[in-house]
Each structure stands twice: as structure tokens, then as C-alpha cells.
Amino acid sequence: METILEIKNVSKAYQSANHELTVLDNINFSINKGDTVAITGPSGSGKTTLLGLCAGLDRATSGSVTLNNIALDNLNEDQRAAVRNQYVGFIFQNFQLLPTLTALENVMVPLELRGAKNIKATAMTLLDKVGLADRSHHYPVQLSGGEQQRVSLARAFSNQPALLFADEPTGNLDAETSEKVIKLLFDLNKDAGTTLVIVTHDLELAARTNRIIKIKGGIIIADESPKYV
């Protein structure tokens, strides 16, 4: 199995006024291509922090993060941005659609950034897949939360990322809508063969992945692969 994400001895500490707050303490794990992984843990345990480090949004205090064989620690901000655009997709708890762009344009942005061809057609196909082709010219404020998250799914898959990160993708949605979005997420994932890393409280969602990493107080307390058990 090919490794797509490798976390080695990663620690993260925040320097506050007079003392150091260690949020992540010597974390080690690696994720194989095509895996679906859930990171769970109580609030404040460091899940979002870890996700940020994995995706190259932040720098670790110590340790190394290797994404698709690229050591992120040696890259500057702009180089990491390029890596994100090439290999990484995001789904956010609060959707983070660009409010001044239409649904279609939101999906197009990663492709445009990359300088891809046939952008509009690709984006429309994706919007169609999430069932929002007829809403393509609506702005985020004109969409419901669930619809917004579906646009956000389309956007995340638009650049065919090698790795998709999702932080509480259903955190802002009701149970029924959550269910729809989760189904869509896994369907799209299966089609694209993307590696999926989901941070979630939702045990049902976690159960659908084939690996669950539990953290607490900044350390991994369990790393199980229920489907293989």
C-alpha cells in the first residue's frame, strides 16, 4: 500500500502570555492511499489543530508532515498553497463558500487556480452530481445550509484531490440532511478514489470509515480499523 500522508513525531504548542500550551504531543501515524479515516475525540482535544497541520495550513512546532511524498515542513506559505491546490480538498463545518460567487463559480475556483481546461463543464458535471445543477447561478445566501454543503462537496472534488480533509462536515446540519451529505460524500469519494480524512464527533459518520483515530489531550489514545477487525 502506498502512503499518502505521513505524520512523524508531530507536536504543536501555543505560546501564550506566560506559559506554553502543548496541544499536540508527539503524534505519529500514516495514511494509505484510498483510505477513509475518521479523527475523533472530545472537544478541545486537538482535532482541528491536527487537521490543520496535515493539510499544511499551519506549521508544527516539531516533527514532520509528508503529503504525497512532499515534505511540507520545508515549504513556504505559497508553495504549500500550490500543494493544497494540486492535491488537497477541503470541506468545512461552516461550508465557507465565497459569498460573492455563485454556486457554479465557487466550484470553478480550484480549477481556475490550477489553470485547468473545460472548467465550466467539469464544474457543471459536479454540481449535477450533487443535484444542484439548476441552482448553479444562485449565490450562497440563496441556498440552504445543506445545499451549501453540497456545493462545497462539489468544490472539494473539483480539482480531483489526492486527499480530502473534512472538519465536522455535518456539524451544522440536521440529522436528515447530514445523512444525505454523508452519502454524497462517500459516493463521490468512491468514484474519485480519494483518500478521505474526516474530523467528527458523529460516531455514525466515523463508523462508515475504515479507520478511526481517537485523540485526547493531544495524544492518540486509539487507532483502530473496525472494517478490518
Q: Which residues bind Mg ion (CB under 5 A)?
A: 48
Measured from the CB of residue 198, what is the shortest distance to ligand ATP in angstroms?
13
Tell me the torsion sign for CA atoms 121, 153, 5, 114.
Answer: positive
Closer to another protein by Cβ: residue 201 or 210: 201
Closer to ligand ATP by Cβ: residue 50 or 154: 50
DSSP letters, 137-198, are T--GGGS-HHHHHHHHHHHHHHT--SEEEEESTTTTS-HHHHHHHHHHHHHHHHHHT-EEEE
The yes or no reply on residue 46 touching ligand ATP (CB under 6 A) is yes
Instruction: Using CB under 6 A, pick the residue from 36, 48, 136, 195 that binds ligand ATP.
Output: 48
Cα Rg of the chain (Å, integer): 17
Instruction: Using CB under 6 A, pick the residue from 2, 17, 43, 117 that binds ligand ATP.
Output: 43
The yes or no reply on residue 65 touching another protein (CB under 8 A) is no
Instruction: Using CB under 6 A, pick the residue from 20, 28, 30, 44 that binds ligand ATP.
Output: 44
Which residue in this structure is represented by grid cell 492511499?
Answer: 33
Look at residue 157 and give the partner it binds from ligand ATP, Mg ion, another protein, none, a contact being a CB closer than 5 to 8 Å depending on partner kind: none
Collapsing DSSP to helix, strand or coil, 208 comes out as coil
Q: At what angle do helices 145-158 and 103-114 cross, to 10 degrees?
A: 20
Alpha-carbon span 153 to 31, nearest angstrom: 21
Look at residue 82 and give the partner it binds from ligand ATP, another protein, Mg ion, none, a contact being a CB closer than 5 to 8 Å depending on partner kind: another protein
Alpha-carbon span 23 to 139, nearest angstrom: 37
The candidate with the shortest Cα–Cα distance to 5, out of 65, 75, 85, 86, is: 65
Look at residue 46 and give the partner it binds from Mg ion, another protein, ligand ATP, none, a contact being a CB closer than 5 to 8 Å depending on partner kind: ligand ATP
> Pattern 2-41, binding to ligand ATP, x per CB under 6 A?
------------x-x----x-x-----------------x
